[in-house]
Amino acid sequence: MGSHIARRLHGEGRKVLLTDIDAGAVEELARELSPDGSTARGTALDVSSKSEFESALQACLELWGTPTIVVNNAAVTEAADLMTLPEESFTRVLTTNVNSIFFGCQVFGAAMAEQGFGRIVNMASLAGQNGGTGTGAHYAASKGAILTTTKVFARELAGQGVTVNAIAPGPHDLPVIKRTMTPEKLETVVAGIPVGHLGEPAFIADMVALLASDNASFVTGACWDVNGGLYVR
CATH number at residue 213: 3.40.50.720
- What is the number of structural domains in the chain? 1
Is residue 107, in this structure, part of any structural domain at all? yes
Residue from 53, 103, 139, 153 carrying the catalytic annotation: 139
124 assigned to some structural domain: yes
What pTM value is reported for the model?
0.95
Q: Does a structural domain hold residue 166? A: yes
231 an active-site residue? no
43 in a structural domain: no
**In a domain? residue 3:** no
Cα–Cα distance for residue pair 230/179, rounded to 1 Å = 21
Whether 181 has a pLDDT exceeding 90, the answer reads no
Q: pLDDT digit string (tens) for 5-58? A: 999 999 999 999 999 999 999 999 999 999 999 999 999 999 999 999 999 999
Instruction: Report how far residue 17's alpha carbon sits from residue 73's, in angstroms, rounded to the nearest whole number.
Output: 13
Q: Considering the domain boundaries, does residue 11 fall inside one?
A: no
Q: Are the CB atoms for 60 and 42 separated by under 8 Å?
A: no
| Within-domain flag for 8 | no
> What's the confidence (pLDDT) of residue 31?
98
Residue-range definition of the domain harbouring residue 73:
66-226
Task: Report the pLDDT averaged over residues 165-191.
Answer: 90
* Residue 132 forms part of a structural domain: yes
pLDDT tens per residue across span 50-74: 999 999 999 999 999 999 999 999 9
